Amino acid sequence: MKTKAFITHIVKILLPFVIGGIIIWWMYRGFDFSIVHDTLMHGMNWGWMLFSLIFGITAEVFRGLRWRQSLEPLGEYPKTSNCIHAVFISYASSLVIPRSGEVARCGVLKKYDSVSFSKSLGTVVTERVIDSLLIAFIALIVFLLQIHTFSNFFTETGTDFVSWLNTFTTTGWIVTLCCIVISVVFIYILLKRATGESRLKKIITDLKAGIFSLKDVKNKYLFIFYTLAIWASYFLHFYIAFFSFEFMSGLSLLVALVAFIIGSIAVIVPTPNGMGPWHFAVKTILILYGVASTQAEIFVMIVWAVQTALIPSLGVYSLLCLGLKHKHKTL
């Protein structure tokens, strides 16, 4: 049983890399990578690229500040710096094990500030819901403004959602719903067996407390500001990179917003930092707006690589900072 569990765990870790790797291989098969080398050395403005990284940092800082604010109504008051370090570490963790970041950052506050893991996880769930609603709202506005372009996107990629749903037969829907119900029941049974009924009830109670904590946030306007600042930073992180490439500088702000939204939706697929799905989605949008295929592929490859490299750098920085602070306390 232990061997089987170990193999399952390894598969869960490796599968996202395999999925992302296959998409990347498919996109860049037959690609002349010497063009990328020439672009890196002579064909881009590194000043703009480095400037874009600042907003990659501010996005995570604002997320840490917002997280601390959402924990206060629960009677948890972690250090602001620890919240920010926890966010940095969470993104680095997700590069190694996709979707593990939420657990990692809650674990950091549990270790260094004795914050309830279940409560902090509840606030993380709340954050994800709020962010998803905001992205959905922005996506709706962008869709209405660029409906013709989105129509071309679905046609070119073969992802017409309505047509895809129509391929499901009645039997298919029944089987799908049964699988969902069975999965939920199975997870519940596993949690109950692993933790005991009383422990499970406490976890659920703490999760609910975290999820509903926002109604007691002291400064709701500040919370809204942090939320908007997070996504404004993410967008600038992406958009400013446009100016690093001469063939991208003529594209409008709205084009960048369309590509940003589609890329943000694509990263839902659990691959490391959206590797593969993000490349494909953003490349497709850029091509629809007139960017040559090779240029679009160069853009997504370089931007993803450079901006992704920032994530482990911040993670290592935070681990060192937390380690030094802990060492200093024990001396």
Report DSSP letters for 127-196, one per residue.
Answer: HHHHHHHHHHHHHHHHHHHTHHHHHHHHHHHT--HHHHHHT--HHHHHHHHHHHHHHHHHHHHHHHHHH-
Q: Is 289 helix (H, G, I), strand (E, B) or coil?
A: coil
Question: Does residue 13 sit within a domain?
Answer: no
Compute how many other C-beta atoms are within 10 angstroms of the C-beta atom of residue 130.
Answer: 17
Question: Does residue 276 sit within a domain?
Answer: yes
Question: Does residue 37 sit within a domain?
Answer: no
* 267 CB burial (10 A radius; 0-12, 13-18, 19+): middle
Q: What's the pLDDT tens digit per position in 246-259?
A: 888 788 888 899 89
Residues 6+ apart with CB under 8 A from 127: 63, 66, 67, 70
CA 199/CA 206 separation, integer angstroms: 11
pLDDT of residue 277: 83
pLDDT of residue 49: 93
pLDDT of residue 227: 93
Question: Does residue 125 sit within a domain?
Answer: yes
Question: Does residue 273 sit within a domain?
Answer: yes
Question: Does residue 12 sit within a domain?
Answer: no
Domain count for the chain: 1
Report DSSP letters for 190-214, one per residue.
Answer: HHHHHH-HHHHHHHHHHHHHHHGGG
pLDDT of residue 314: 93
Name the stretches of the chain with pLDDT < 70: 1-9, 11-12, 146, 148-214, 325-331
CA 102/CA 125 separation, integer angstroms: 9
pLDDT of residue 152: 61
Question: Does residue 40 sit within a domain?
Answer: no
Could you identify the residue written with the tokens 């990263």? 267
pLDDT of residue 48: 93
Question: Does residue 159 sit within a domain?
Answer: yes
Tell me which residue range forms the domain holding 122.
Answer: 45-330
C-alpha angle with apex 48: 44 to 51, nearest 5 degrees? 145
pLDDT of residue 206: 55
Q: Is 125 helix (H, G, I), strand (E, B) or coil?
A: helix
pLDDT of residue 166: 54
Between helix 293-330 and helix 46-71 the angle, nearest 10°, is: 50
Helices then strands (H, E): number in the chain? 14, 0
